[in-house]
Structure 1
Amino acid sequence: MLSLARGYDVGYLLGPVQSGREGYYTGAVAAGEPPGRWYGSGAAELGLDGEVDADLMEAIYKRLLDPRAPETHSRASWDEAPALAPEHRAYRSADEIYAELVAAEEGAGPERRAELRARAERSARQAVAFIDATFSAPKSVTVVATAFERMANDARKRGDQQAAAEWAAWQKKVEDAVMAGARATVDYLQDVAGYSRVGHHGGGAGRWIDAHSWTVAQFLQHDSRDKDPQLHVHQAVLNRVRCADGKWRTLDSRAITMHRMSAGAVGERVMEAELQRTLGLRLETRADGVAREVVGVPQRIIDLFSSRRRAISEKTQELLNAYEERQGRPATVLERKHIAQEATLATRKGKSHRGETEAQRLDRWAREARDAVAGGLASVATAVLTLGKASVPRRPGGLRGT
């Protein structure tokens, strides 16, 4: 699945890292997440390769500085560094708007001030610094990677380094397949949706121009906000791109949104092909036809590691019951969709790695799996490999591909 979100504040990505706090993207590296990686033809043209450096990413995304210039690589010389494009447009903040509204109504009481604050929040605008194209693996793929990781950790504890290395290698193959799927979504979108707008489109005189060289910072993460296993890749697409005429402009986000679902489908097929080629894993379409899951992963364990989905479903039902009781009739399809969106917002949590190490996280997932399925993650790890049809290398315990 591929989701899109606008990114406004680079501090949301990197600020917590520099202040020594956990961060939603780069800050999670300290808690066991791998560092970000540069990707995209635009990144290659700018000389960006390998791991994402926090300061350099801030210089590019927040100040639109050219990473090819030496001055961009030191905060002390950012003011002397050349820019790729004019700086982001500055808008009045919600606080500034609120201050003006309150100044115009000096006698406003608490309730009125709350209304003014809400109005200020609604009217505030921010420059879009990046588009976050997040590629998420099906839950069963995540469970397989978690099972392999658990087997590797258990092997290390009992001193079997060879088995640990093999299980870890298979875990990496799953993660590599997910990354391959994520990269495929970027490649596809660069090709079919890589455009910028030129001129005044509101008056009918505008046109589109090719803008296919994207700069992307990719971050692989292993769990959700609710700390369920969830392999996903945040792909921060810089909202500046060098167009066919050599000028740097913003991306046409509407074209990207139009092709989101097809890009997600491409990414899923590429991921699946890699899982089949490197591990012999088999995926089949679920009964509901919504997604494809790995054969050998029980539905019970998929449901167990989907507390986010359960929370949304439970909250949706709670809100739906209250709504229908108040209205005295069943909710319409449109009303149900709106209520589900409200439930999603109501159950959302801020992401955090505090208080739980990577080892503790794996132990918790294993305990939960063991309660639901005999043998827990170990049964999942062996089952998916046994059911695989492609020939794969020797597996720990003498298990071989067929």
Structure 2
Amino acid sequence: MTRSRQAPRKNRRYIAVFATLAVFAGLVAVTQVSLAGSRRGHNSGNNLPWCQPTSAAAAAHDHSTEQDPNATPPADAPAGEVAGAAGDGTTGDAPAVDAKAAAAAKATASAAAKAQAEQRRQNNDRNRNCRPTTTPSSSNGGSNGGGNNGGGNNGGSSPGSTTSPSTGTGNGSDPTTSPTSPAAPPPPPALPEPLGNTCDGSSLQQHDGFQAGPRCVTTQFGEVGSVENNPTLLISRAPARARINQPFDIQVSTRNLVRDRFLPAGAGGYYKESSFLTEEGLVRGHFHMACRLLSGRGAQDPAPVPAFFKAVEDGGGGAAPDTVTVTVPGLAATGVAQCAAWAGDGSHRIPMMVRANQIPAFDSVRVVVTR
């Protein structure tokens, strides 16, 4: 009777031990599977290929063929005038609107926008399956080098930082690092040795005031005014189109130019006089107006005489801007004409400026000559 009672009790002990071992083994297996999945989740991005840069991001945008067919004149422009003659910023007669050209330009712009949207979509799809090629920057120190990995744990330096680890203050910064002072600006470049400032040693004949070359001009430059008194010039109004052999007007505005000095070039006054200022510090001189028909898009031949030329010395001008109307008697051929205006001192040179980056007293427009 005693043996029969002890046998079942011993079996129950074995069953309990085996059950405990089975439960422990199951917990270990579940833990291993969970850790493996976590590692795969964290490292899956490292197994992806590097993203390749797209050609669209590297290519520069070329604006040379872009035009705005819907350009509008300024709000204060008189009726019947456009924003400019061939985009030069002046006013002129409004050309007829080409509906077909406008529709074609609109269709081209729409197609370009759709192509750009499709390219962005393809780039986004491609980047989902690759790793970005950029490296972490030092700006990540607040999250990776600060309170998470740096604040008392890993030393406080961010992945992209080159500074030594700190003692772990919780924000990833090194309290012993002193701010760096800005670098001193580089010295100005050395001035090249001047070739000379006189005609001594020149093999050319000295200039005698007449329009001939090559010559060496001995006339000194003369006086230059203060920067606020330097002369400026602007073509304030010009037509966009003109009929062949039909006169048209161009309005020219000058500032800081007293138009009272003109040595006739045909009489030997060209490059003969230095530049002189009035008692108010303004340039004494005049301005020129000329028109020529263009032969192409390249720089033009300087030798031919322009189709129209006129010098304006009317005794007007001064510190305040004023306007002079010049009448062009008409151009004898069709095409695109360049009409330019530029100031001149007493000897026809464009007046000097105080700084090299100032725009001189010069302006130019395009006029389309039609039948």
Q: For this structure pair, what is the TM-score category when the shorter chain's length is used for normalisation? A: under 0.3
- Which structure has the larger Rg? 2
Give the TM-score normalised by structure 1.
0.16
- Structure with the higher fraction of residues in strand conformation: 2
- Structure with the higher fraction of residues in helix conformation: 1
Give the TM-score normalised by structure 2.
0.17
